[in-house]
Amino acid sequence: MRGKNSVTARAWYIHRQSIMTAPRAIVMAGLLAGGTIGVAAQTPKLDEVVRRMGSYLEVYEGRLALVVAEESYLQSFEYVGFSGPSVAGSRESAALPVGSARRTLRSDYALTRAPDKEAWVGYRDTFEVDGKSIRDREARLERLLTAGNTASAARIAEESSRFNLGNSIVTRNINVPTLVLEMLHPRNQWRFSFTKGGDETTAGVRTWRVEFKERERPTFIRNTNGRDRPALGSVWVNPVTGEVWRTLLRWDSDPRGTIAVTYGHVPKIEPLVPLTMSERYPPGQSQLTGDATYSNYRQFQTGARLVNP
């Protein structure tokens, strides 16, 4: 557990500083979802489908206000090289257990746009760990964001991150369900190359599986030494409307990982929203996983100007 791979993984994080030629920090990815555009009379070409996807993201970036969902997040750790009994650590400890462990987090998850940064921001406010309340349940994020106080909301999200299982091995802020939508927004599409992977049916909808690969530097994902971690993956797009129904993000350099997200419709929210998120990190002889579901979506409005965190 203390070998070379775990040391590399322990150092893993997303560089949080803005770089003039780079996209905004990944933690600012948030909910981008959206509407319909004109229907083509014939089978579109790849560049047209990518353009339609971009138009979809732009339209719903403008229409979507503030959205809060309840996130149920099951995290697990399995040390493949160990066959003895499991010994779990404390809830607050970042140290890995011996053998295997599971942790369930329940949080309010807010998605909003920081207009000054032209990006989406996601905030977690964890209120329950393994069935035990860690604070009184209250709509803290909603209250702060409607008041325009994103700085305090960011501090809440930072406090909540300490409950992540396996933080000492994989420290991450890329577990944001709409990350790929931010990466493939028109303001960032120039950073990627695209190819058509095939035709598939997703949630009963005919989609194109479009493969993307990051080609520009510096990259969205970097480690503590500033080393680039080029991203690649797939996005399942309705070729007529540009709607995104599924995304898969991965990177091949150590520590490797994948994040898969599915989208769908929920009551009272017009655009497609994340329904599930699944992340996998295999540091060394271990497997760290996270599976989140999103429910109880609600949308609220604010006339206050959002303040950068």
Best CA proximity match to 31, nearest among 82, 75, 66: 66
Residue 304 resides in a domain: no
User: Is the per-residue pLDDT at 31 higher than 70?
Assistant: no
Q: Please give the pLDDT value at position 145.
A: 67
User: Is the per-residue pLDDT at 94 higher than 70?
Assistant: no
If one compares 227 and 102, the residue with the highest pLDDT of the two is: 102
Residue 309 resides in a domain: no
To which residue do tokens 């369930």 refer?
104
Cα–Cα distance for residue pair 66/298, rounded to 1 Å: 8
What average pLDDT does the segment 17-23 reach?
35
Question: Residue 208: which region, alpha, beta or left (left: phi > 0; alpha: psi -120 to 50)?
Answer: beta
What average pLDDT does the segment 296-308 reach?
62
DSSP 52-113: HHHHHHHHHHHH--EEEEEEEEEEEEEETT--S--B---SS--SPPBSEEEEEEEEEEEEEE
> 5 and 255 in contact (C-beta within 8 Å)?
yes
Q: pLDDT for 253-293, tens place per residue?
A: 777 889 999 999 999 888 899 999 999 988 666 788 999 99
Residue 307's pLDDT band (boundaries 50, 70, 90)?
very low
> 236 and 207 in contact (C-beta within 8 Å)?
yes
Best CA proximity match to 153, nearest among 142, 141, 165: 141
Q: Please give the pLDDT value at position 232.
A: 96
What are the backbone angles phi and psi of residue 99, rounded to the nearest 5°? 90, -95
Q: Please give the pLDDT value at position 182.
A: 86
Cα–Cα distance for residue pair 203/206, rounded to 1 Å: 8
59: Cα separation from own chain's centroid? 20
At 237, the amino acid letter reads V
- From residue 251, how far is each of 14, 219, 234, 260 by CA, in Å? 13, 11, 12, 12
Residue 303 resides in a domain: no
What average pLDDT does the segment 77-87 reach?
54
Please give the structure tokens belonging to residue 111: 């998605």
Segment of 53-67, 106-120, 232-246 carrying the highest mean pLDDT? 232-246
38: Cα separation from own chain's centroid? 29
Residue 306 resides in a domain: no
pLDDT, mean over the chain: 74
Best CA proximity match to 64, nearest among 241, 275, 306, 301: 301
User: Is the per-residue pLDDT at 87 higher than 70?
Assistant: no
What average pLDDT does the segment 214-237 reach?
88
pTM for the whole structure: 0.75
121: Cα separation from own chain's centroid? 10
Cα–Cα distance for residue pair 193/30, rounded to 1 Å: 22
Best CA proximity match to 263, nearest among 284, 301, 235: 235
Best CA proximity match to 100, nearest among 112, 85, 122, 114: 85
- Residues paired with 277 in a beta bridge: 261, 292
What average pLDDT does the segment 199-205 reach?
96
> What totals of helices (H) and strands (E) does the chain contain, helices first?
5, 13
Cα–Cα distance for residue pair 246/197, rounded to 1 Å: 14
Domain span including residue 193: 4-297
Residue 307 resides in a domain: no
Q: pLDDT for 155-200, tens place per residue?
A: 666 666 677 776 666 666 678 888 898 899 998 999 999 999 999 9
Residue 302 resides in a domain: no
Q: Please give the pLDDT value at position 74.
A: 96
Q: How many domains does the chain have?
A: 1
Best CA proximity match to 29, nearest among 189, 186, 174: 174
Q: pLDDT for 35-72, tens place per residue?
A: 444 444 578 999 999 999 999 998 877 666 678 899 99
